[in-house]
DNA sequence: TAGATACATTCAAATATTTCAAACTAACAG
DNA sequence: CTGTTAGTTTGAAATATTTGAATGTATCTA
């Protein structure tokens, strides 16, 4: 993972709403629907859509279309790579 | 570590200059002087000072005064806590 | 004590982020 | 086809971040 990618992931993780989204997905064994995420956040639907886009653009979430709905899955691999970079910083 | 703290650390990590600072400190076995950091970045001294403040405020760096100079040490403990939070997200 | 050095702070300009209302697209139901 | 539901995109306002010039403060040196 290069620095640009590391920076992008860090930025995606630097917002309270997005942290909540990831934590809730974790609680649900790594998968949540868009509508569920919108319900649990105190934001309008377009704002939630924006935050989800940040997480998807950073590859932290993988979107899966199911008809009109979208299911978001946690990207374990990218998260593991990010953690590996942080561990490297520890020397 | 609560979400506010996690958010602050993520934000501190979401800038190219600050990532470089941490990487260079790692290369030097976890410790660098302010002047060395200013020299290696293509930014003015006040800008570097600003970035160092972000890292210190997030507790990622520990400043140690040595006369007129300041030595910055990597805070291994906080970095480990941050990594633990990320590992928790993996479920 | 006077001048120099190391770093911080303040202020302002440029840029980026967050948020919502409004409008849009895609998929389903009848 | 028409209407509805799920989600995206656009545009604009509010706020935050990044950056550097100017200035301030603390420490060292002569």
DSSP letter string, B13-39: TSSHHHHHHHHHHHHTTTEEEHHHHHH
Which residues of chain A have a CB within 8 Å of the CB of B30? 91
- Determine whether the distance from the CB of A31 to the nearest atom of strand D is below 7 Å: no
Grouping H, G, I as helix, E, B as strand and the rest as coil, residue A71 is strand
- Determine whether the distance from the CB of A56 to the nearest atom of strand C is below 7 Å: no
Encode pLDDT of B35-91 as tens digits: 999 999 999 999 999 999 999 999 999 999 999 999 999 999 999 999 999 999 998
Strands B31-33 and A61-66, by their bridges, are: unpaired
Phi, psi of B72 (to 5 degrees): -105, 130
Strands B69-74 and B31-33, by their bridges, are: antiparallel
Vertex B4 angle, CA B59 and B65, to 5°: 15
With a CB cutoff of 8 Å and minimum separation 6, the contacts of B25 are B31, B32, B61, B72, B73, B74
In angstroms, the CA A6 to CA A86 distance is 9
Under 8 Å CB pairs connecting chains A and B tally to 82
In angstroms, the CA B56 to CA B18 distance is 11
In angstroms, the CA A77 to CA A53 distance is 18
Question: What is the sign, positive or negative, of the torsion defined by CA atoms of A54, A56, A59, A61?
Answer: positive
Encode pLDDT of A4-13 as tens digits: 999 999 999 9
Domain that holds residue B67: 3-89
CATH of the domain at B31: 1.10.10.10
- Determine whether the distance from the CB of A84 to the nearest atom of strand D is below 7 Å: no
- Determine whether the distance from the CB of A63 to the nearest atom of strand D is below 7 Å: yes
Which residues of chain A have a CB within 8 Å of the CB of B26? 88-91
How confident is the model at residue B91, as a pLDDT?
85
Number of domains chain A is built from: 1
B53 nearest nt, CA–C1': C8
Encode pLDDT of A11-62 as tens digits: 999 999 999 999 999 999 999 999 999 999 999 999 999 999 999 999 999 9
A3 touches chain B (CB under 8 A): yes
In angstroms, the CA B77 to CA A38 distance is 35
**Closest residue to B89, CB basis, from A4, A26, A90:** A26
């Amino acid at each position: 993972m290069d620095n640009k990618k590391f920076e992008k992931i860090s930025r995606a993780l630097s917002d309270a709403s997005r942290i909540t989204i990831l934590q809730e997905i974790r609680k649900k064994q790594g998968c949540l629907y868009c509508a569920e995420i919108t319900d649990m956040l105190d934001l309008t639907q377009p704002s939630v859509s924006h935050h989800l886009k940040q997480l998807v653009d950073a590859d932290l979430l993988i979107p899966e279309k199911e008809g009109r709905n979208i299911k978001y899955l946690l990207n374990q691999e990218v998260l593991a790579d990010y953690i590996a970079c942080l561990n490297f910083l520890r020397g």
